[in-house]
Copies of this chain bind each other. A is one copy, B any other.
Amino acid sequence: MQLTLYTDYSLRVLMYLGLHADKKATISEIAGFYGISRNHLVKVVHDLASHGYINTHRGKGGGMFLARPAGEINIGEVVRHAEPNFHMVECFNPQATHCPIFAMCTLKGVLNNALSEFFTVLDKYTLEDLLKRSGGVALPQFMGVSIARER
Which residue numbers of A lie inside 8 Å of B, CB to CB? 1-5, 7-8, 11-12, 15-16, 19, 33-35, 75-77, 79-80, 83, 85-90, 97, 99-101, 103-122, 125, 129-131, 133-140, 142-143, 145-146, 149-150
Which residue of the partner chain, among B15, B110, B121, B143, contacts A105 with CB atoms under 8 Å?
B15
Copy tally for this chain in the complex stands at 2
Report chain B residues within 8 Å CB of A88. Answer: 1-3
A-B contact pairs, 26 of them (CB 8 A): A1-B1, A1-B4, A2-B86, A2-B89, A7-B89, A19-B101, A80-B146, A103-B134, A104-B131, A105-B131, A106-B134, A109-B137, A109-B139, A110-B129, A110-B130, A111-B122, A112-B142, A113-B121, A113-B137, A114-B118, A114-B119, A114-B121, A115-B118, A116-B142, A118-B118, A119-B142
Chain B residues lying within 8 Å of A104, measured Cβ to Cβ, are 131, 134
How far apart are A34's CB and chain B's nearest CB, in angstroms?
A: 7
CB distance from A20 to the nearest CB of B (A): 11
Q: List the 4 shortest-distance A-B pairs measured between CB atoms, nearest first.
A: A109-B137, A114-B121, A117-B117, A116-B140
